[in-house]
Amino acid sequence: MASVTFDHVFKKFGEVIAVNDLNIQIEDKEFLVLVGPSGCGKTTALRSLAGLEEISSGEIRIGDRVVNDVAPKDRDIAMVFQSYALYPHLSVYDNMAFGLKLRKTPKEEIKRRVNEAADILGIQELLDRKPRQLSGGQRQRVAVGRAIVREPKVFLFDEPLSNLDAKLRVQMRAEISKLHQRLQTTFIYVTHDQTEAMTMATRIAVINKGVLQQLDTPQNLYDHPNNLFVAGFIGSPAMNFFRGKLRKDGAKLLFDAGDFSIALPAAKSTSYEPHAGKDVIFGIRPENVHDAEFVPMNIATEKVMAKVDVTELMGNEIFLYLMSGNNTFVARVDPRSQLRVGQQAAVAFDMENLHLFDATTEQAIR
How confident is the model at residue 1, as a pLDDT?
63
How confident is the model at residue 365, as a pLDDT?
93
Among 5, 48, 42, which Cα is nearest to 24's? 5
How confident is the model at residue 171, as a pLDDT?
86
In the sheet where 4-13 sits, what is the strand order? 16-26, 4-13, 57-62, 65-66
First to last CA, the chain: 38
Q: Which mean pLDDT values do the consecutive 10-residue runs of the chain (366 residues) have?
A: 93 95 96 95 96 96 94 92 88 93 92 92 92 90 90 92 84 89 94 92 97 97 96 94 92 91 88 91 97 92 95 94 94 94 95 95 94
DSSP characters for 330-361? EEEE-TT----TT-EEEEEEEGGG-EEEETTT
How confident is the model at residue 66, as a pLDDT?
96
Q: 358 near 317, Cβ under 8 Å?
A: no
Q: 287 near 306, Cβ under 8 Å?
A: no
How confident is the model at residue 165, as a pLDDT?
84
Residue-range domains of the chain with CATH: 4-233 (3.40.50.300), 240-358 (2.40.50.140)
Among 222, 336, 339, which Cα is nearest to 283's? 222
